[in-house]
Amino acid sequence: MRQTKANLLLLNVRVLDLETKLEPAPVNPLAVAIKDGTIAGVASKDEVSGLAGPGASVVDCGGKALMPGLVDAHCHLLALAASLLGIDCGPRNVSSIQQLQQMVHRQVRETPPGRWVRGFGYDDTALVEGRHPNRWDLDPVSPDHPVRLDHRSGHASVLNSRALELAGINDETPDPVEGIIDRDPASGKPTGLLLEMADYLRLRVGPSRDKTEFQIGVKSLNRKLLEYGITSAHDAGPSNGLDRWQTFQELKSSGLLSSRIVMMAGASNLQEFQQSNLGFGYEDDGLRIGQAKIMLTSTTGSLHPGTAELEEMVREAHAAGFPVAIHAVEQEAVAAASSVLTNQGMPRGIGAGRDRIEHCSECPAELIDQVARSGAAVVTQPGLIYWNGDSYLANVEPGLLPHLYPAGALHRSGVPLAFGSDAPVTDPNPWPAIYSAVTRRTSSGTALPRKDNQASLDQRVPVRDALRMYTSAGGSAAKFGGIHSGIKAGYPADLVLLEADPTRVDEDSLKNIRAVMTIIGGKVAWEG
């Protein structure tokens, strides 16, 4: 340590090391020396003399907690950037279709004619009308602007008549194989509600923002990630192709995105990656290619793709050297995904990645062992319990409630488990998610289920495990080396300084923890 000449020296920090299973005994505040993006050493305050090199930055952290940077292992970054520019239609802002109309009308007045008006996060179950809005609700307040409102789930959108026209959707348009065009039962006309048709719209109408607006959204996204202490994020876009990879390259090289990014490749786009000699694990300046993303849904009433097609997609991805990440929310999808991966999981070997099941939202006890046998990692979203839990209590069959996002049971069964936000479905703030993983409580403080029972208690995870699932487990899920749950010499200096130590506060305070500094590659990327 005494020979180290650090670029950055953090004094008076309480180091939060998660690599030990048990909580370590309290220690006096330490100093962490960082050199060229790597932790050079950790010393006591009495041993720091002479550590700082010429021109080094020295920060007195005031005894605050320092932990490894947080990893959001499942989100949709560019969709999140777009949502930060649009109307926030979430339940905290909108409780009726009339309010929704008023918000759209205000945005229309501020938008040049012909330009898109976008809204995000509406929830039909939270509207007093108890239904989705439709084109006839939107047309009177937006006759000259195409309008698209995305559901908070990310799996539905409502378009007004002008937007339907631009998308080429009319009375005769057939449903796509993977989606549904909702229709009025009396007239057969499209209502404007589209289910599982985000890719359909992307291909037919293109981007709804120009480059300047897009960059503004990305800057807001970048700041949000840094404010939350997120030093790495996995983009789980199912349609990610070479064009999206190039977009991320531009955002990274220009400095608009600071966090390290793992971009999944859309399973239908693997050929274009192969033709460009870009395979799983390829890395370029903090941007890495991840698993092949497969959407497995039951929106149309049956699983799509079917079992035979899913098996073929997995085989093709593995043959191309890509492990897969299968979107599986419903019980039927979780069962199908785990069964297919049990029979043909990614071959193990040097450099091989791990298959993943994304969400695993509905997973009763009888499916837990099957998921474990598959050998897949599970990336799940405890934040949905926090943000959507009260809606689940009102709308989900009671017997299923204990088995929603069952982190505890999966963890005990030995399933490699990591956490993500699914942003913009929820806010990417990790701390409400960690709170709900530890407590199984919603944003209102209500237990899920309402009355604590053994099944509910069994889904809780200890706070230190929850923190690992939001740090090193995210790196493991993407075969993203260098992400650790400890702070030791030789580890990459991706770190977050917190206002409070999450292992020493009461459970209820977890959701309110804030970052005060985020360090990526040994450089202070944000300070608040």
**What DSSP designation does 48 have?**
-
Whether pLDDT at 159 is above 60: yes
- Spell out the residues 6+ positions from residue 400 whose beta carbon is closer than 8 angstroms to its own: 362, 364
Q: Is 344 exposed, middle or buried (0-12, 13-18, 19+ CB in 10 A)?
A: middle
Q: Which two tokens stand for residue 343?
A: 């029979």
- pLDDT, mean of residues 446-452: 81
Whether pLDDT at 62 is above 90: yes
CA distance 214 to 145: 19
Among 60-74, 240-254, 484-498, whose mean pLDDT is lowest?
484-498
CA distance 381 to 376: 16
**What DSSP designation does 398 have?**
G
Domain ranges of the chain: 71-76+209-515, 86-205
Whether pLDDT at 56 is above 80: yes
- pLDDT, mean of residues 434-448: 96
- Spell out the residues 6+ positions from residue 404 whose beta carbon is closer than 8 angstroms to its own: 361, 362, 384, 385, 392, 396, 448
pLDDT of residue 1: 47
Q: DSSP string of 256-301? A: S--SEEEEEEEGGGHHHHHHTT--TT-EETTEEEEEEEEE-B-TTS
- pLDDT, mean of residues 151-174: 96
Q: Residue 350: left if φ>0, alpha if ψ -120 to 50, beta else—which one? A: beta
Tell me the three state secondary structure of residue 150: strand
In this structure, what are the phi and psi dihedrals at residue 169, rounded to the nearest 5 degrees?
A: -105, 120
Architecture of domain 86-205: Roll (3.10)
| CATH node for 71-76+209-515 | 3.20.20.140
- pLDDT, mean of residues 501-508: 96
pLDDT of residue 503: 95
pLDDT of residue 177: 87
Handedness of CA 45, 51, 54, 58 (dihedral sign): negative
Q: What pTM did the predictor assign?
A: 0.93
Whether pLDDT at 482 is above 70: no
CA distance 425 to 386: 12
- pLDDT, mean of residues 45-60: 79
pLDDT of residue 2: 47
pLDDT of residue 509: 98
Q: Which two tokens stand for residue 11?
A: 């004094």
- Spell out the residues 6+ positions from residue 129 whose beta carbon is closer than 8 angstroms to its own: 96, 97
End-to-end distance of the chain based on CA atoms, in angstroms? Answer: 29
CA distance 17 to 484: 10
Whether pLDDT at 70 is above 80: yes
- pLDDT, mean of residues 437-452: 90
Q: Which two tokens stand for residue 237?
A: 């876009």
Please state, rounded to an integer, the average pLDDT across all residues of the chain. 92
